[in-house]
Structure 1
Amino acid sequence: MVLSASSVHLLHHHLSSRTTINLLSLASLSTTIANRSLKTPVPKPDQSEDHTEPPITNTHNDDYFAAIHHVSNIVRRDFYMERTLQKMRINVTSELVYRVLRSCNKAGIESFRFFNWARNQPRYQPTTLEFEELIRTLGRTRNWETMWKVAEQMKNQGFTITPETFSLVIESYGQHGLVDRAVEVFNLMKNFNCAQTTEVYNSLLSALCEVKNFQGAYALIRRMVRKGGTPDKRTFAILVNGWCSAGKLKEAQDFLEEMSRKGFNPPVRGRDLLIEGLLNAGYLESAKGLVRKMTKEGFLPDISTFNSLLEAICKSGEIDFCVELLQDVCRLGLCPDKNTYKIMIPVVAKIGRMDEAFRLLHRLIEEGVKPFPSLYSPIIKSLCKRGQFDEAFSFFSDMKGQGHQPNRPVYTMLIKMCVRGGRFVDAANYLVEMTELNLLPRSESFDMVTDGLKNCGKYDLAKRIEQLEVSQKGF
């Protein structure tokens, strides 16, 4: 039976029922999928694990993705998957297989069964992209024996496994403590004519540090350099993080100094790596001390490292320390970026340091950055919490007047704060303002405002708000 195109949206409501398989839009599904072929079957050499999905050119996106969603659910849940899929008479393409495999990336054996079914369909020939996606899924789900069978099939058909895929396989072994297997995979790469890139070395390095085999990790870096490889930031960061997590700060420092003497300086300064390593290992006080020592000596951390430190300290509740530290490094010449302000403005506003919040916001504007709603929203919320509604409303008007238009979450927050403060008429005004900007308020916002207006005796205004809700939602 063929389901009309207008009924495709009903697919989601029938996924759990076996009877829906015969109700799938067989003709429209085949047509939709046939029109969406994969243009480039082989990924670029530098493609990472998170592949960029093939371009979408067909206009019927909803139908297409509903079909992909339906097939993916069959693969994950249907015990008789192959029989069900065969009844659907799908026109199997590379893109269909790739997207379903990506959707089922936590179902290893089910993905393998689907791939084998697809390979038996007429006119479908697997590409590197589908093979590698399946290998990733099988490695991620610890189906290693099946994964190697697929790799051998890939090799026998003349396909090349990329270093990115080998990296994922090595890391999957390392994450489960199977370092010997990770080393075997590393050594096996030459049998697949695959280069041992810096990314591959980093994956094995991570596996060795996972089991605290720092001697082996250090030896691996030496081998990498001997073979002509170039360590990158992640190479240094993995080993530094490993040593820091084991409380071996001196070893991490010695390693960075030795690599520097040999001419292999990290892409970021060694002290920044140490700070990040200490933060990742949970040694917040040591990281703070290191930054304090740096600033006293006149040195500045990298801005991304500094932001990581600020975020960690703010989470620990030491906001005053963060404010002082930020002022110190700014005096030394560090230029905060957008992320610095995203971290600091909400936390200082939350603890009621409004002068500091306004100072940071004004500095951000002076630097030419347009403040987005999530930056000035915490200031408005804090003013309302402190009962300073007039100041909050004035600041809100200033933001709008300067062209920094609020979004729906800001209005929703402001309406809620007005209701909590008994400012029901103000809440109603902002509700109307939202609708004038084509921002549909939530049902809860309408309910809060109308209930509040009725409780304070403003029945006419409450009725108008109810009428506004009807006009907006059409019921």
Structure 2
Amino acid sequence: MLVSARLILYRITSAAAITTTNPTTTIAVRCLKTVASPTIADRGRGVSKDDYYATIHHISNIVKRDIYMERTLNKMCMSSIVNSELVYRVLRNCCHCGVESFRFFNWARSNHPQYDPTTVEFEELLMTLARTRHWETMWKVAHQMKSQDLPISPSVVSFIIEHYGKHGLIDQAVELFNRLKNFNCPQTTEIYNSLLYALCEIKNFQGAYALIRRMIRKGCVPDKRTYSVLVNGWCSAGKMKEAQEFLEEMSSKGFNPPVRGRDLLIDGLLNAGYLESAKALVRKMTKEGFVPDVGIFNSLTEAVCKSGEVDFCISLYNDVCRLGLCPDIETYKIMIIAASKVDRIDEAFKILHRSIEDGHRPFPSLYAPILKALCRTGQFDDAFSFFSDMKVKGHPPNRPVYTMLIKMCGRGGRYVEAANYLVEMTEFSLLPMSQSFDMVTDGLKNCGKHDLAQKMEQLDISLRGI
């Protein structure tokens, strides 16, 4: 019964076969008629984008869900619109359906002689089959590409090798690596890195180290990912000493990593979850007068703040700034949020003022944590003054900031100010939440401000059109 219903849904051979009780199918036929032009890519000539993408979506759903996909697609009579762009978009939409994508690709090739697949569709299908672990089918498609003299790009090969590695199929990854000449694909640094990643996934560090020696012998220059893959692998296995020795050896051979070795070690320790070791290494660096990379510093402080050690982050931030670290906007965001959460409001203000001195115009998520901390500690007058200052010097407050401020005012019994912010929101065309109105009106009534409460109720009604 379910199969029959599905077939009825997709029976769209002609408009005569459509009934008014099935609007989904009716829309699909209209879309097919609209896009049925010889130049589907030129959608500017009378073919709307909505119709085009609706058709892609409808075909993709057939590929994903219809047991009798080929028969349903044949009944749609869409030979005039099957081309490389359409096939690619459908394959991309069905990137987690390996067998179904393969069937659709074969249907498009066998039933439409005018369709000549390009490298783009082949490679999209290869990645889908690798993602869904249909390895044998993937190799069949690769040999089809070879028979048509279509090369496989290094990025696709890297994708496949890494998926082999994720599933522990290192022999297959090495086999693909060794057979690349047969597919007109060079062994680039990107591909070496992918095989290196696969070896590290199974903790074969000896093989990974041998691969790097071969890589250098063949004239491929290691890049940042080469170092980070191996260092991350060693750190995840608790082999920090080996990672450090590897970096020192590569440096002595003249292959200095694009970022400093200690930064790579910190990143590797963070990725492996060794937070205390990463903190100790950064502390050692700062004592010796070295400054970590700003990206590494951001990753470290974010991880440490999540663990609740905000004081350590603030102290470290002050130290590295004295040593010459140039914070970016992400640094300011992390530190302001962290300092505000533990009511280190003076520190949060210092960090905010430094960001302004560096030329950054404060945006809502940067000043909202300070605003909330001031309200939480009962400093409402300072909060209101600060908020007014930010409306002038920073980016305009958004709906979440107003909602938070109104909520904090309610908690502190400042219902008149909360009512004023509700009105202010409407002046900026920001629709307040109904819960905000309820809280403010109830609070005003309890305070004896019945006239103001009535005005708030009338404003709520007028805004919502009740």
TM-score (norm 1): 0.87
Matched residues in 2 for 1:214 and 1:366: separation?
47
Q: Is the 8 A contact 1:33 1:92 kept in 2?
A: no
Q: What are the equivalent positions in structure 2 for 1:369-448 lying under 5 Å apart?
A: 369-448=360-439
Q: Does 2:57 align with 1:69?
A: yes
Secondary structure at the residue paired with 1:364?
A: helix
Bigger Cα displacement from structure 2, 277-286 vs 91-100:
91-100
Matched residues in 2 for 1:266 and 1:200: separation?
18
Identify which of structures 1 and 2 has the higher relative contact order when contacts are C-alpha pairs closer than 8 Å and 6+ apart. Answer: 1
What's the offset of the Cα at 1:437? 1.4
Quote the residue 2:98 is aligned against: 108
Letter in 2 for 1:104: C
Quote the residue 2:150 is aligned against: 159
Secondary structure at the residue paired with 2:179?
A: helix
Distance 1:414 1:148, change over 3 A: same
Quote the residue 2:188 is aligned against: 197
Distance 1:417 1:205, change over 3 A: same
Secondary structure at the residue paired with 1:229?
A: coil
Cα displacement string for residues 164-213 of structure 1 (whole angstroms, at most 9, x for unaligned residues): 00001001110001111110111111110101111111110000000110
Q: Is the 8 A contact 1:419 1:427 kept in 2?
A: yes
Distance 1:472 1:154, change over 3 A: farther
Quote the residue 1:343 is aligned against: 334
Q: What are the equivalent positions in structure 2 for 1:218-297 lying under 5 Å apart?
A: 218-297=209-288
Distance 1:178 1:346, change over 3 A: same
Bigger Cα displacement from structure 2, 353-362 vs 449-458:
449-458
Quote the residue 2:28 is aligned against: 25
Matched residues in 2 for 1:35 and 1:371: separation?
52
What's the offset of the Cα at 1:30? 4.4
Letter in 2 for 1:97: V
Distance 1:284 1:154, change over 3 A: same
Distance 1:419 1:203, change over 3 A: same
Q: Is the 8 A contact 2:88 2:120 kept in 1?
A: yes
Matched residues in 2 for 1:297 and 1:266: separation?
21
List runs of 5+ in structure 1 lacking aligned partners. 1-17, 40-54
Letter in 1 for 2:367: Y
The structure having more radius of gyration, on CA atoms, is 2
Q: Is the 8 A contact 2:376 2:408 kept in 1?
A: yes
Q: Is the 8 A contact 2:34 2:47 kept in 1?
A: no
Matched residues in 2 for 1:375 and 1:284: separation?
26
Q: Does 2:76 align with 1:88?
A: yes
Q: Is the 8 A contact 1:244 1:281 kept in 2?
A: yes
Matched residues in 2 for 1:86 and 1:465: separation?
61
Q: What are the equivalent positions in structure 2 for 1:164-203 lying under 5 Å apart?
A: 164-203=155-194
Distance 1:57 1:430, change over 3 A: farther
Matched residues in 2 for 1:460 and 1:69: separation?
55
Distance 1:263 1:349, change over 3 A: same
Quote the residue 1:150 is aligned against: 141
Percent of aligned pairs with the same residue?
A: 70
For the aligned residue pairs, the C-alpha RMSD in angstroms reads 2.5
Cα displacement string for residues 282-324 of structure 1 (whole angstroms, at most 9, x for unaligned residues): 1111111111111111111111111111111111111101111
Aligned counterpart for 1:326 among listed residues 308, 311, 317: 317
Matched residues in 2 for 1:403 and 1:312: separation?
28
Q: Is the 8 A contact 2:361 2:393 kept in 1?
A: no
Matched residues in 2 for 1:270 and 1:205: separation?
18
Secondary structure at the residue paired with 1:25?
A: helix
What's the offset of the Cα at 1:158? 2.6
Quote the residue 2:295 is aligned against: 304
Q: Is the 8 A contact 1:34 1:93 kept in 2?
A: no
Matched residues in 2 for 1:458 and 1:103: separation?
57
What's the offset of the Cα at 1:82? 2.6
Q: Is the 8 A contact 1:26 1:89 kept in 2?
A: no
Distance 1:391 1:289, change over 3 A: same
Distance 1:111 1:329, change over 3 A: same
What's the offset of the Cα at 1:458? 4.3
TM-score (norm 2): 0.88
Bigger Cα displacement from structure 2, 318-327 vs 92-101:
92-101
Following superposition, which runs of at least 4 residues in structure 1 exceed 6 angstroms of deviation?
55-59
What's the offset of the Cα at 1:19? 5.1
Matched residues in 2 for 1:387 and 1:458: separation?
22
Bigger Cα displacement from structure 2, 347-356 vs 427-436:
427-436
Matched residues in 2 for 1:157 and 1:104: separation?
24
Secondary structure at the residue paired with 1:321?
A: helix
List runs of 5+ in structure 2 lacking aligned partners. 1-20
Aligned counterpart for 2:348 among listed residues 357, 368, 383: 357
Q: Is the 8 A contact 1:36 1:57 kept in 2?
A: no
Q: Is the 8 A contact 1:36 1:95 kept in 2?
A: no
Distance 1:430 1:66, change over 3 A: farther
Quote the residue 1:98 is aligned against: 88
Bigger Cα displacement from structure 2, 339-348 vs 30-39:
30-39
Matched residues in 1 for 2:45 and 2:246: separation?
51
Secondary structure at the residue paired with 2:151?
A: coil
Secondary structure at the residue paired with 2:248?
A: helix
Letter in 1 for 2:256: N
What's the offset of the Cα at 1:215? 0.5
Q: Is the 8 A contact 2:223 2:258 kept in 1?
A: yes
